[in-house]
Amino acid sequence: MSTTASARTAADLRADDTKGPTAGSKAGAAASWVDERTGIAKGAAFMMKKVFPDHWSFMLGEVAMYSMIICLLTGVFLSFWFIPSAGQIPYNGSYLPLQGVVMSEAYSSTLAISFDVRGGLLIRQIHHWAALMFCVAITVHMLRVFLTGAFRKPRELNWVIGTILSMLAIVEGFAGYSLPDDLLSGTGIRAAEGFIRSIPLVGSYISYLMFGGTFPGEAIIPRLYSVHVLLLPAVLIGLFTAHIVLVMVHKHTQFPGPGRTNENVVGFPLMPVYTAKAGGFFFMVFGVLAIISALVTINPIWAYGPYDPSPVTAGSQPDWYMGFADGALRLLPGFLEFELFGFTWSMNVFLGAVALIPVMYTVAGVYPWIEAWVTGDTREHHLLDRPRNAPTRTAIGLAAFSFYVVLFLAAGNDIMAIRLQLSINDVTNLFRLLVFVVPVIVFWVTRRICWSLQRHDREKVLHGRESGTIIRTAEGKFFERHDDIDEFERWNLVAFESPAPLALPAAVDGNGVSSKEAKKARRRVAWSNFYFKTRVEPVTPAELAAAHHHGEHEAIPGGSAPAAIKHDKHPS
């Protein structure tokens, strides 16, 4: 009997294979078909390999994005039943206290969503809470970007997009807040009509066009609805898309650390790690908003009743994101209203209610160019600053935030006066003082805290961490043993730049003629000294070696850097 196997071809070996395409081959064929016609595979592969760094503060932007997505999803649901009409009809719904009351169709349909549509009230609550969360998250995200210097070249344009997004979020929130046409939101529209009228020269014309005649009219609700569900969402989505695309193009910023440079990104790829984390975080945000919406009532319009121009809700206040503008309106003195050239100029209303918001966001938007002009730094930055390592910028940011907080608190001056049994005039005058004093104090205290933290970091690098162990030498001397810190912790404490103030150029040129450039540079040098005159430099390898060699416990003072930017190196 022969043991030699007969030769078989490749076709013979595949003869017994299962015929017909599998699920995987179908998906692959579909992907190939799409790629052959769109060329999307190369771009998709690049995106899947895109690396994103990992830090808890980066989630703030994600919370804003997910909150906006939740607003869009719940808004679509609400649009199925909401009727954007100010036409008056008698209410015949299931909420008994209002049956038979004449109200607008907008208010009636909102009541129907709340009481007659299954799950409608929960969706309304989620929509409102998500809108508030969106405004909170985008504000805190902007503060994080500012304090860490993530707005520097090449991300100036993305910073401007962020400021526009934040400002439009306020307008979008106010438009949606006004749609139910209840007594509280109607009072807000009435106040907005007064704000518009305060615009010099053209205010009354703009008000007439917006309301389709005199207030209240029946045109404002459908017009606000179009702005709320069509115009502003389209702009917000477009800006968000541009924001994300620019993040991809510039690569995500990262905090300094071992192996992290301006030329690389240390983190996780988009697929599968980052996508899985982002997806899970989205459902966490959705779940938290759903729990809050199920447990905490917000904007109970049935308790306010339909809008009537004659009454005003006692203690009525807008949503929190409009609080700072409301506070500014309350603090501006009445003498700012005057008559000139036959016109009444209501600057006491216009400056706080209309001009403040665009001015604040314009100043924030141009700040990257202001700092670049002061520092003379035109390099690209992909590594973030620890806030303590940019003391003046951090102090400016927190001073601006304290100004915002004082205006926000001033929006409740009437409630404070009533609850604390104080004179509302005294409370208002106190806030008028605080709006100027608090930012100055916060600036001074914040900058000194940053300097102290920098000196503490320098001390820790040079002498290690205090162990609490007292050692007695043979000569009878006592000293505390300091434990050395590891290289990874040391890197975070020394990997920063300490810019020196710019030097004033010579007042005359080589021919003894007065230099025009010197005159132009004086203002810039003055601002540079304001930013960097007092500074703490990072520890150099030589200073670290000297401290370890001598075992001294006093900090070794650093020398002044001769250049505007001193590049630090990692201690060996």
Count CB neighbours of 154 within 10 A: 14
Residue 289's pLDDT is 96
Query: Is there a contact between 391 and 447 (Cβ–Cβ < 8 Å)?
Result: yes
Query: Within 13 A of 196's CA, how many CA atoms are on the CB side?
Result: 16
Separation between Cα atoms, residue 413 and residue 424, nearest integer Å:
7
Give the residue carrying structure tokens 């030699």: 4
pTM of the model: 0.85
Q: How far apart are CA 415 and CA 420, in angstroms?
A: 8
pLDDT at 479: 78
**Among 373, 366, 368, which residue's Cα sits nearest to residue 525?**
373
Query: What SS3 class is residue 4?
Result: coil
For 308-314, the CB contacts below 8 A with 24+ separation are 308/183, 308/186, 309/186, 309/190, 309/215, 309/216, 311/183, 312/187, 313/183, 313/184, 313/187
Contact 387, 453 (CB under 8 A): no
* The pLDDT of residue 262: 85
User: Residue 341: what are its φ and ψ, rounded to 5°?
Assistant: 55, 30
- What dihedral angle (degrees, nearest 10) is formed by the CA atoms of 365, 366, 368, 372? 180
Q: Which pLDDT value is given to residue 16? A: 60
Q: Are strands 465-472 and 478-483 parallel, antiparallel or unpaired?
A: antiparallel
Which pLDDT score, from 0 to 100, does residue 430 have?
Answer: 96
User: What does the pLDDT look like over 261-273, one tens digit per residue?
Assistant: 888 888 888 888 8
Question: 350-378: b or e for each residue (b if 16 or more CB lie within 10 Å)?
Answer: bbbbbbbbeebbeebbebbeebbebbebe
- pLDDT beneath 50, residues of the chain: 1-5, 20, 552-572
For residue 60, which phi and psi values (nearest 5 degrees)? -60, -40
Question: The tokens of 531 are what?
Answer: 């930013």
